[in-house]
């Protein structure tokens, strides 16, 4: 099995349970890993025979633009849409990282990861 991996998609979004997070927003990083078979792409050099990185990024950006209280919710929306809109996905993993979350203490980031 082959993998298409898009890491470090940096976004500014407005997720969080606190009202301030909805107004001020914060920095996020999203990583996507897709297991697929791109053997035909290796042979033909045709984009249509693999999963398009640009389409992955577009889906991530669109879903991250929709406010949610929980990054778990955003991550699930992303993975559902990837599986719905992109062909040839055998398994997908989405990791959503919230940088500098507003919680007590000094915390660099919090993340969720969904694999389906």
98 is catalytic: yes
User: Of 43, 69, 95, 98, which one is the catalytic site residue?
Assistant: 98
What burial class does residue 103 get, using C-beta atoms within 10 Å of its C-beta: 0-12 exposed, 13-18 middle, 19+ buried? exposed
Catalytic residues: 98
């Amino acid at each position: 099995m082959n993998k298409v991996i898009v890491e470090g998609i940096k976004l500014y979004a407005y997720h969080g349970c606190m009202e301030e997070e909805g107004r001020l927003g914060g920095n996020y990083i999203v990583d996507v890993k897709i297991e697929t078979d791109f053997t035909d792409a290796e042979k033909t050099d045709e984009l249509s025979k693999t999963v398009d990185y640009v389409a992955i990024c577009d889906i991530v950006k669109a879903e991250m633009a929709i406010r949610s209280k929980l990054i778990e919710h955003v991550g699930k929306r992303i993975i559902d849409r990837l599986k719905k809109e992109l062909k040839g996905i055998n398994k997908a993993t989405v990791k959503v990282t919230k940088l500098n979350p507003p919680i007590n203490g000094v915390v660099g980031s919090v993340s969720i990861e969904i694999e389906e």
